Structure 1
Amino acid sequence: MTATGSTSASVRPQQVRTAAVRALPAPVVALGVFATVRGAGVLLLAVGSWWAGRSPVRVLGFSWDSVWYLAIASHGYGRTQMWADGGWVQSDCAFFPLYPLLVRLAGATPWAGLLVAWTAAAVAAVGVYRVGELVYGPRVGVLLVTVWAVVPHAVVLSLAYTEPLLSALAAWALYALLRERWLWAAGLAVLAGLTRPTGIAVAAAVSVTALHAVCVGRSRAPEVWAAGLLAPVGWAAYVLAVGVRTGDPAGYFTVQRRWGSRFDFGVGALDSAGRVLSGGQVMLATVVTVAVLAVAALMAVLLVLDRTPLPLLVHTAVLLVITFGGAGFFESKPRFLLPAFPLLLPVAAAMARARPRSAVVVTAGLAGLSYGYGLYLLLVARVPL
C-alpha cells in the first residue's frame, strides 16, 4: 500500500506537466520552443561576447549590415563608403526601407533594432508553424519551427537583421495563399518586397499561384487578379525609386554591382565549392556554406517529390536561384535561405515519424552545433554575414 502510494506520488508531477503541455495550443508550444532555443542562443552569445571583452548589444545589434540599417534609421539615406583595395563603392541604397523605418519608429538604437528583429522572429515562428500545420499537421508544424530555429545560420534570427522580418512576412503570406486569402497574401508580399531584395520570392509565389488559379483553375475572382498584379509592387517601387535617385533606370542593380553583388549564374558558387572539395585553404565558414547549399539542393528535390503545394515551391525555388546564382559575399548565402523554411519540411516530417526521444536528441545535437557556429561567426571568423 505504501509502495503503491509512493510510486503514484512520484509519477504524478510528471503526468501533470505532460498534461499541462498537451493542454497548450500548438502555436503556443511552437513559439515556446522557438523562444527557448533562440533565447539560449542569445544568452550563450552574450556570455561569449563578455568573455571576449565585447559588448553583447553591439555584437547582436550593431554588426555588419546592422550598422547600415541603424544609420538609415537615424539619418535617412545618403551614405556612401569607398574601399580603395577592392574598388567597391558601397551605397546605402542597397538596403530596402521597411526594416530601418520600423527601427526608426522604435527609437533608432541597437536595442530598437533588436526589438524589431526579435518581435519579427516570434511572429515568423508562429507563421512557420501555421504553414507546417496546414501541410502536414500540428506535430510537423512544431518540429518545423524547431528545426528552423537550429539551422547553422539561425543565429541571424537573433541579430538586428532583416531576415526575421522577411521570414515573418513570407510565412504569413504563404499561409494566406494556402488558405486562398489573396489580398492578405498580396499585401504581405508588397511589404516583403520593401524589406529585402529576396522579397521578390514572396511576390513571385503570389503572382505565380494567382496565374495558376486563373489559367488552370479557371478562376475569375477579382481578388485573384488583383493579388497577382499587386504582389511585386513593393519590390518594384523601391528599385524604381533608386533609379530615380541615381538618375539611372538600372540604378539599383548598379549599386549592387558596386557592392560586389551580381548574378553570375552560379559561377562563383561553383568556384568556392571546387576550392573546398579540392582541399584548398578555406575558412570553416566557406566549408559550412558549401555544405548548407548542398543540403538545400537535396531538400529541394525532396520537396518536389513530395508534391509540395505550389506557393511553397515557387517561393523556395526563387530563393534558391538567387542564392545559388548570385555572386558576392559567399559566406552570406546560408542566411539568404532562412526565409526558405519549406526546405525543412521533409526533415520535420521525418522527425515526426521517429520516436520522441530521437527527435529530442537530434534537436539537441543540431542546437549545439548551431550555437557553436554562431559564436564562431560573430566572435572568431567575423566574416560578413
Structure 2
Amino acid sequence: MSPTAPAEAALLLETRSCRPAPGPATGLRGRGLAALRRAAPALLAYAALRTFVLLVFGVWAHKEGHGIWPALAADWDSKWYLGIADHGYEHTLGTRRDANNLAFFPLYPYLVKALAVVVPGSRATVGLLFAAGCSFVAAWGVFAVGDRLHGRRVGILLTFLWACYPVGIVQWMGYTESLFTAFAAWSLYAVLTGRWVWAGALAALAGLTRPTGVALAAAVCLCGLLTLRRGLSRRALCGALLAPLGWLGYVGWVGLRLGRWDGYFAVQRLWRNELDGGIETLRRFRGHLAYDSSPELFLVLVTAVLLGSVLLYGFSLADRQPLPLLVFTGVLLLIVLGSGGVYFSRARFLVPGFPLLLPLALMLARASRRTLTVGVAGAALGAAYWGGYMLLVWPSAP
C-alpha cells in the first residue's frame, strides 16, 4: 500500500462529511421535477390538442369574419367576471332577471384584478392567459389522479379525453372552469394520498371559485369524517372542517351584503337556478329528443353530454371508483341535472367532472391500436368542431 493511502482516505472521508445532506427543499424539488417528467407526455398531449382546437377555431373565425380574442377573452360570462374585477359587486338584490353579479363567485375575478397590477395588458388578456395557465395545472392534476389509480397510460388518456371534452374550448377562455378543475383535481389527489389539510384547503378555494364547489367540499368532508372511524386523525378532521369554508364564506357574505339570510339563494332565484328535482331537465330531454321537430344541434349535444354523463357515472359505480371521486361527480351531477336554470350551459358545468371520463380512459387503454387511433382522432376532431360551433354558429353560445 502506498504510504500516502491512509492520508488520501482520511481526506476523502473528510470531504464527504462536509457535503450538506439533502434538505427537505431539495427532496421536495426533486420529487416535483420527477412528477413533472412523468406527467410530461400527458401535458404535451393536452397542449397539442388544445392548440389544434385553437387553430381550427382561428381559421373558422377568420372565414366567418369574427375576432378570436374577443370571443375567448371578453364575451359572455367573461364580461361578468371582468365587470366584477373593474367595479366590484352589487349592493342590492334588485328584481331584474339574470342581472345580479353576486351569482358569480369571487376568486377568479379578484385574482385577475391582482395579476393585472403586475402583468402587462388589459384585464381581459390577463384573465385569458391566467385561465390557460390554470388549464395546465388542471391537466397535471387530472393525470395525477388517473396515474395514481390505474397507471401512466390511463393517466395520459384521461388527460387527453378531458382536453377533448365537447365544450372544452372554455378551458382556454376567460372562464372559471380551468381554475376550478385545477383545485378539484389536486384536492381529490390529496385525498387519495392522505394529504387531508391540502385537500381541505384546495376544496375551500374551489368553493370560492364556483357554486359547484359544494360538490368537492362534500367529497372531502364525507371521506375525511369516514376516516375518523378508524381513529382520531387531526389532519383528516382539519381537512373536513376546512373544505366547506370557501363556499359557506361566500354564501354568508352575500347574505350580509344584502341584509337577508337567504341573500345568495335569492340571487340564484333571479337567475332561475333553483333546484327543482330535475323536472326542468327532464322536460328539456323530452323536448329535444322526442317532440322538437327541428331541434337546435347544440342543444342536442348538451342533452347527449348530460345523458352520457349519467351513463358514465353508472360505469364509474360499476368500476368501484374511490369514494371521493364518486361523491364529487355524484353531487356535481345532482346539482347540474337538478337545477331549473339555463339549459345550454349544463354541459360546461360538467367540465370539472373529469372522473366521469375514467371508464372511457380504461376502455381505450385496453383497446387495440386501431381502435385507439380511431378513438383519439375522433375525439380530437369532435373537440375542434364543437368548440368552433359553440362560439361561431350557435346564436346563444356559450
1:168 aligns with one of 161, 166, 182: 182
Task: Return 305-314 or 70-79, whichever deviates more.
Answer: 70-79
Structure 2 partner of 1:318: 331
Counterpart of 2:14? none
Which shows bigger deviation, 43-52 or 266-275?
A: 43-52
Partner Cα separation in structure 2 for residue 384 and residue 246 of structure 1: 31
User: What aligned pairs does 1:174-253 form with structure 2 within 5 A after superposition?
Assistant: 174-215=188-229, 218-253=230-265
- Contact 1:114–1:158 (Cα < 8 Å) also in 2: yes
What residue is the counterpart of 2:310 in the other structure? 297
Alignment of 1:8-87 (within 5 A): 25-78=37-90
Aligned amino acid, residue 303 of structure 1: S
Q: Is the 8 A contact 2:317 2:326 kept in 1?
A: yes
Code of the residue aligned with 2:335 in structure 1: it is I
Provide the C-alpha distance between the structure 2 equivalents of 1:228 and 1:80, rounded to a whole number of angstroms. 33
Amino acid at match of 1:299: L
2: distance between equivalents of 1:120 and 1:341?
15
Aligned amino acid, residue 294 of structure 1: L
Task: Give the fraction of aligned pairs with identical amino acids, expressed as a percent.
Answer: 43
The structure number with the bigger radius of gyration is: 2
Q: Deviations over 1:42-86 (max 9, x none)?
A: 222222222222221100011210000011112222388989xxx
2:168 to 154, 164, 175: 154
Deviation at 1:311, TM superposition (A): 0.6
The answer as to 2:280 corresponding to 1:264 is no
* Partner-residue secondary structure (3-state), 1:330: coil
Alignment CA distance shift 1:80-1:366 (3 Å): farther
1:160 match: secondary structure? coil
Q: Which amino acid aligns with 2:115?
A: A
Q: Which deviates more, 172-181 or 65-74? A: 65-74
Q: Aligned pair in 2 of structure 1 residues 184, 331: CA closer, same or farther (>3 Å)? A: same
CA separation in 2, counterparts of 1:147 and 1:47? 23
Q: What are the superposed Cα offsets for residues 26-55 of structure 1, whole Å, 9 maximum, x if unpaired? A: 301100000110111122222222222222
Residue number among 282, 296, 303 corresponding to 2:295 in the alignment? 282
Change (3 A) 1:59 1:266: same
| Alignment TM-score, normalising by the size of structure 2 | 0.87
* Matched-pair contact (CA < 8 Å) for 1:128–1:171: yes
Report how far residue 89 of structure 1 moved: 4.8
Q: Tell me which of 341, 344, 350 is aligned to 1:331.
A: 344
Cα distance in 2 between the residues matched to 1:77 and 1:360: 48
Give the number of equivalent residue pairs. Answer: 357
Match of 2:27 in 1: none
Of the candidates 106, 109, 115, which is equivalent to residue 100 of structure 1? Answer: 109
C-alpha distance 67-124 of structure 1, shift in aligned 2 (>3 A): same
**What is the letter of the counterpart of residue 366 of structure 2?**
R
Q: Determine if the alignment matches structure 1 residue 129 to structure 2 residue 143.
A: yes
Determine if contact 1:82/1:89 at 8 Å carries over to the other structure: no
The one-letter code sitting in structure 1 at the alignment partner of 2:301 is V
Larger mean CA deviation between 26-35 and 354-363 belongs to 354-363
Secondary structure class of the residue paired with 1:339: coil
Which consecutive aligned stretches of 4+ in structure 1 deviate over 3 angstroms post-superposition?
A: 79-83
Partner of 1:351: 364
Equivalent pair of 1:80/1:92 in contact (CA under 8 Å)? no
Q: Is the 8 A contact 1:96 1:238 kept in 2?
A: yes
Aligned to 1:12: none
Counterpart-to-counterpart distance in 1, 2:109 and 2:370: 42
Segment drifting more, 57-66 vs 363-372: 363-372
Matching of residue 369 in structure 1 with residue 382 in structure 2: yes
Question: What's the Cα RMSD here?
Answer: 1.7
Gaps of 5+ in 2: 1-35, 117-121
Instruction: Structure 1 unaligned segments of length 5 or more: list them.
Output: 1-23
Larger CA deviation: 225-234 vs 38-47 = 38-47
Match of 1:11 in 2: none
8 Å CA contact 2:197, 2:235 repeated in 1:
yes
| Aligned CA distance change for structure 1 residues 245 and 79 (closer, same or farther; 3 Å) | closer
Query: What is the Cα deviation at residue 133 of structure 1?
Result: 0.4
Q: Is the 8 A contact 1:261 1:326 kept in 2?
A: yes
Q: Distance in 2 between matches of 1:230 and 1:290?
A: 35
Q: Which moved more, 1:137-146 or 1:289-298?
A: 289-298
Per-residue CA distance 1:320-372 (angstroms, 9 max, x = gap):
00011011111111111111100000100010011234222211111111211
Code of the aligned partner of 2:247: W
Equivalent residues of 1:79, 1:91 under 8 A apart: no
1:122-181 CA distance string (max 9 Å, x none): 000000000000111110000000111112111111211001000000000000000000
CA distance 1:223–1:149, shift in 2 (3 Å): same
Instruction: Give the 3-state SS of the residue equivalent to 2:66 in structure 1.
Output: coil
Question: What SS class does the counterpart of residue 88 from structure 1 fall into?
Answer: coil
TM-score normalized with structure 1 length: 0.89
